[in-house]
Amino acid sequence: MKSKFKIGLAVFLISILMIPIVACTNQNKSDELVKVRVAEVTRSLFYAPQYVAITEGFFEEEGLKVELTTTAGGDKTMTTLLSDGADIALVGSETSIYVYAQGSNDPVINFAQLTQTDGTFLVARKQIDNFTWDMLIGTTFLGQRKGGMPQMVGEFVLKKFGIDPFNDLNLIQNVDFANIASAFASGTGDFVQLFEPTASVFEKEGKGYIVASFGEESGHVPYTTFMAKESYINENKETVEKFTRAIYKAQQWVDTHSAKEIAQSIQTFFPDIDTDILETAVERYQKQGSFATDPILDEKEWNNLQNIMAEAGELPKPVNHDTLVNTAIAESVTKE
């Protein structure tokens, strides 16, 4: 009995002594990770692959520690990036064109595409069984902020169906991005343009009903991309490559997993949203092909983006694909 007691005691003492060693090892591993500060334009299920890259450990596999901050609105996100408050921004590609038009000596370069369609849905205050776009004529439409991709795509789609955004309806565009949903909930507008999961939450709560998708009507565009200042990419090529590889792994993971699995993976980023709503919203994006399956931003998509901007009167001047898009990194990681 005494010998067994001594053995048990020895094992216990060894295990106690091992705890600080394991803790130290984990701390050292954490210290070895390269920190990358990312500013996202909003928190949305639209960016599911980004959250998957975090929760499934793809960034850590590449030796990176991502610090994610939500900076509501494209202007705020770009300001954060330009002022060195972030290393990488996840925002609409149009913002890089605006910065370039202002004559920046350190242009913002798009290096990895995350989404390839518009991510907003048309939500009606009342349920409509057989919706047609001409039902918007004569109504009040609470749109997105002027100059942003949601607003420009919204106008593009309206014109596609023969609707003049400024004469055929009352178009509201002066509500701050972060307050659009609450403005509609409080009674502003007959229709509103919303991202997920807000659109599905409204539907479940009876505050509105999804009647159409802007993403299905506008075609492929580099709607949201990861971008960084040219100087950061040049000085941190290996980090940017590892970041892009992690995003590609996540894109492939999302492409091969169910909406339920994806919803479960990213649940922690939406703690106040029921899993069934997350699953429904993810499935909507999957069906319309919103999630890019690789990070390559091709020239056709870039030109479609500029066509939409020009149609909205927001394109300062055409910019060649090669000027503000770096595909070399994305092409490299997808060929490995």
Nearest to 190 by CA among 120, 128, 147: 128
Question: Residue 235 corresponds to which amino acid?
Answer: E
> Cα-atom radius of gyration of the chain, to the nearest Å?
23
Calculate mean pLDDT across residues 199-208. Answer: 94
Instruction: Please calculate the CA angle 211-216-221 and round it to the nearest 5 degrees.
Output: 135
Please give the span between the terminal C-alpha atoms of the chain, in angstroms, as a whole number: 60
pLDDT band at residue 124 under the 50/70/90 scheme: very high
Would you say residue 24 has pLDDT above 80? no
Would you say residue 133 has pLDDT above 80? yes
User: What six digits make up the tokens of 208?
Assistant: 């509105």
User: Three-class SS of residue 153?
Assistant: helix
pLDDT of residue 30: 53
Nearest to 82 by CA among 204, 272, 232, 234: 232
User: What six digits make up the tokens of 234?
Assistant: 């040049």
Q: How far apart are CA 305 and CA 317, in angstroms?
A: 13
Question: Residue 1 corresponds to which amino acid?
Answer: M
Q: 2-34 burial, b if ≥16 CB within 10 A, otherwise e? A: eeeeeeeeeeeeeeeeeeeeeeeeeeeeeeeee
Q: Higher-confidence residue: 311 or 54?
A: 54
State how far the alpha carbon of 44 is from the alpha carbons of 31, 109, 262, 278, 280, in Å. 30, 23, 13, 10, 13
pLDDT of residue 2: 46
Question: Residue 44 corresponds to which amino acid?
Answer: S
Q: Higher-confidence residue: 288 or 4?
A: 288
Calculate mean pLDDT across residues 88-94. Answer: 96
Residue with structure tokens 């995350």? 114
pLDDT of residue 31: 63
pTM: 0.84
Would you say residue 1 has pLDDT above 70? no
Count of helices and strands (H, E) across the chain: 16, 10
Would you say residue 287 has pLDDT above 90? yes
pLDDT of residue 17: 54
pLDDT of residue 93: 94
Sorted by where each starts, the structural domains of the chain and their CATH numbers stand as: 33-117+221-334 (3.40.190.10), 120-218 (3.40.190.10)
Question: Residue 326 corresponds to which amino acid?
Answer: N
| List of E strands, the chain | 34-40, 64-70, 88-91, 108-115, 120-124, 140-142, 170-172, 191-195, 209-213, 224-229
Rounded to the nearest integer, the mean pLDDT of the chain is 90
Nearest to 78 by CA among 106, 45, 59, 54: 106
Residues present in the chain in total: 336
Q: How far apart are CA 239 and CA 261, in angstroms?
A: 29
Would you say residue 122 has pLDDT above 90? yes
Calculate mean pLDDT across residues 297-316. Answer: 93
Calculate mean pLDDT across residues 51-55. Answer: 98
Would you say residue 264 has pLDDT above 70? yes
Would you say residue 52 has pLDDT above 60? yes
Question: Residue 84 corresponds to which amino acid?
Answer: D
User: What six digits make up the tokens of 233?
Assistant: 């990419």
